[in-house]
Amino acid sequence: MGWRDADGVIEELVALLPALPDPWDVGVLCERLSEQRGRPLLLHPIDLPALPFGLWYDDGDRDHVLHRSGVTGYHRDHVVLHEICHMLARHNTVRAFTFEDLVENAARNRFDTRQEEVAELFASRVLRTVGLRRPMDEVERRASEVFGAV
Ligand SMILES: [Zn+2]
């Protein structure tokens, strides 16, 4: 699948979201997603150097999104939405039943590059839709060189 299809994939994923909160609040979005899916979606601020910036996992009954507790505002919302994208798209599901499973999975289980790029674009799309912007940082500059406008 080429990059011309990425927009369509992202549109389909965005369409799975409930109404976006106004004013924007990523926690409220997670509550709405929990209701819509009939399945709890829990956010966990956590500070563990072994974990990536964010992580979604499925414990069998609930979805969990971990994000670094030191990251706030736009950047936190971006990380959370990135993980929500993996959840909605059922990208390589990370199942973890114990904390040890989780850490092991985080170290071993990498999403493929395309899934990562879709998740990044999804998060940027949603935040743009709710009117949040940030100045381009180095990561975005590199992404925009590769993919066009981010
Ligand atoms: Zn990811």
At residue 110, what is the residue type?
Answer: R
Q: Tell me the CA–centroid distance for residue 128 and ligand 1, in Å.
A: 19
Residue 54 CA to residue 146 CA, distance in Å, equals 23
- Which residue ranges form the domains of the chain, and what is each CATH number? 3-142 (1.10.10)
pLDDT at 79: 94
Token representation of residue 88:
């909605």
Q: Which of 78, 31, 86, 32 is nearest to 56 (CA)?
A: 86
Residue 147 CA, distance from chain mean position: 19
Q: Tell me the CA–centroid distance for residue 86 and ligand 1, in Å.
A: 7
Entry pTM:
0.79
Q: Tell me the CA–centroid distance for residue 53 and ligand 1, in Å.
A: 9
Which helix (H) or strand (E) segment holds residue 100: the answer is helix 99-108
- Contact partners, residue 100, CB within 8 Å, separation at least 6: none
pLDDT at 54: 86
pLDDT at 31: 98
Residue 37 CA to residue 20 CA, distance in Å, equals 15
Q: Tell me the CA–centroid distance for residue 87 and ligand 1, in Å.
A: 10
Evaluate the CA torsion angle 104, 107, 113, 116 in order and state its sign.
positive
Query: Phi and psi for 51 in degrees, rounded to 5?
Result: -90, 150
Q: Tell me the CA–centroid distance for residue 79 and ligand 1, in Å.
A: 8
- With a cut of 70, list the residues of the chain below it in pLDDT: 1-4, 51-52, 92-99, 101-111, 135-136, 149-150
Residue 65 CA to residue 54 CA, distance in Å, equals 7
Q: Tell me the CA–centroid distance for residue 111 and ligand 1, in Å.
A: 6
pLDDT at 39: 96
Residue 77 CA to residue 41 CA, distance in Å, equals 15
Residue 57 CA to residue 87 CA, distance in Å, equals 8
